[in-house]
């Protein structure tokens, strides 16, 4: 029960990595607020997690890219001890074929959304003199990935914002870190392969797995376990850090 007595808000928590984080935090004793774009899917996820863990779980709807929506969601959520920024979207494209609209769409969710939620959380945490924020960055922030121009831009920004905020919030008693996964097998990956490589899903899955020296993609549960450590008191001496969880992608290729 590493998070007993804590209240955690997890964005993008209706599916994928965010949902795994919300589930594990609840299992470890936290009261969890699941924030997602659609209230119905957030509520369904919250109900399932509450039933499985016997924890208190709440669903809140918000568009993380909209300032008023984020403000209302955080007001509704009350005091929080932990924020995990997991909401994000992906994009395939190079500098030459990424449209300005796609660039702006990625920026609004992945960068502006992370900023707005961090800002709202810091304003709640500062008067209490404690709190933890964890952002989901990516190996794309520091490694050259083919066809990930706009996505890499956003994750580089998430990393930089994490370091800057961690420095600014030291005197408040806040810890702010980020994690940088390599490829993680989520429903998004299955949907992407089905859409772009019909009939070749198994072949492409092997190629994606092979890009990590460890020989496979990560799982949402593995990311959640690292998030649990960084958001718990076990990591009380860690702030301003980007933690790789990449199957050796960065250093062993």
How do residues 239-249 score in pLDDT, each as one tens digit? 999 999 999 99
Query: 73 and 39 in one domain?
Result: yes
Query: 192 and 93 in one domain?
Result: no
Does residue 71 lie in a domain region?
A: yes
Does residue 2 lie in a domain region?
A: no
Query: 232 and 209 in one domain?
Result: no
Band of residue 195 on the pLDDT scale cut at 50, 70, 90: confident
Region 199-220: what's the mean pLDDT? 94
Residues in CB range of 236: below 8 A, 6 or more apart: 175
Catalytic, out of 107, 115, 151, 197: 151
CA distance linking residue 121 with residue 113, whole number of Å: 12
Query: 189 and 157 in one domain?
Result: no
* Predicted confidence (pLDDT) at residue 219 exceeds the cutoff of 90: yes
Does residue 44 lie in a domain region?
A: yes
Does residue 30 lie in a domain region?
A: yes
Does residue 246 lie in a domain region?
A: no
Does residue 247 lie in a domain region?
A: no
Tokens coding 150: 């706009």
Its pTM stands at 0.96
Query: 78 and 171 in one domain?
Result: yes
Query: 197 and 73 in one domain?
Result: no
CA distance linking residue 11 with residue 60, whole number of Å: 9
E strand intervals along the chain: 7-11, 31-36, 57-61, 82-85, 131-136, 174-181, 242-245
CATH code for position 91: 3.40.50.720
Query: 137 and 65 in one domain?
Result: yes
59: left (phi over 0), alpha (psi -120 to 50) or beta: beta
Closest listed residue to residue 195, CA positions, set 92, 86, 87, 41: 92
Query: 116 and 191 in one domain?
Result: no
pLDDT digits (tens, 9 = 90+) for 40-49: 999 999 999 9
Determine the number of helices (DSSP H) and then strands (DSSP E) in the chain: 9, 7
Does residue 253 lie in a domain region?
A: no
Query: 43 and 95 in one domain?
Result: yes
E strand intervals along 4-52: 7-11, 31-36
Does residue 194 lie in a domain region?
A: yes
Query: 51 and 26 in one domain?
Result: yes
* Predicted confidence (pLDDT) at residue 187 exceeds the cutoff of 90: no
Query: 189 and 84 in one domain?
Result: no
Band of residue 193 on the pLDDT scale cut at 50, 70, 90: confident
CA distance linking residue 253 with residue 247, whole number of Å: 10
Owning domain of residue 149? 7-181+219-240
Is the pLDDT higher at 212 or at 189?
212
Decide if 151 is catalytic. yes
What's 240's DSSP letter? S
pLDDT digits (tens, 9 = 90+) for 10-38: 999 999 999 999 999 999 999 999 999 99
Closest listed residue to residue 28, CA positions, set 58, 59, 49: 49
Q: How many structural domains does the chain have?
A: 2
Query: 209 and 86 in one domain?
Result: no
Query: Over the chain, what is the mean pLDDT?
Result: 97
């Amino acid at each position: 029960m590493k998070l007993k007595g804590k209240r955690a808000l997890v964005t993008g928590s209706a599916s994928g990595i965010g949902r795994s984080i919300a589930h594990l935090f609840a299992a470890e004793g936290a009261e969890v607020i699941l924030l997602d774009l659609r209230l119905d899917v957030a509520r369904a996820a919250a109900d399932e997690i509450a039933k499985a863990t016997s924890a208190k779980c709440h669903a809140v709807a918000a568009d993380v890219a909209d300032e008023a929506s984020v403000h209302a969601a955080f007001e509704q959520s009350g005091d929080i001890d932990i924020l995990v920024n997991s909401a994000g979207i992906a994009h395939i494209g190079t500098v030459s074929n990424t449209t300005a609209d796609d660039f702006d769409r990625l920026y609004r969710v992945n960068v502006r959304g992370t900023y707005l939620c961090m800002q709202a959380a810091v304003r709640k945490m500062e008067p209490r003199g404690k709190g933890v924020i964890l952002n989901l960055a990516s190996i794309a922030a520091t490694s050259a990935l083919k066809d990930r121009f706009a996505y890499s831009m956003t994750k580089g920004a998430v990393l930089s914002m994490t370091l800057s905020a961690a420095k600014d919030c030291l005197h408040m008693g806040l810890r702010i870190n980020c994690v940088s996964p390599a490829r993680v097998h989520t429903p998004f990956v299955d949907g992407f392969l089905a859409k772009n490589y019909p009939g070749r899903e198994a072949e492409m899955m092997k190629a994606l797995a092979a890009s990590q020296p460890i020989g496979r993609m990560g799982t949402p549960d593995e990311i959640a376990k690292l998030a649990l450590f960084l958001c718990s008191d076990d990591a009380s001496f860690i702030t301003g850090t980007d933690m790789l969880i990449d199957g050796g992608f960065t250093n062993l290729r």
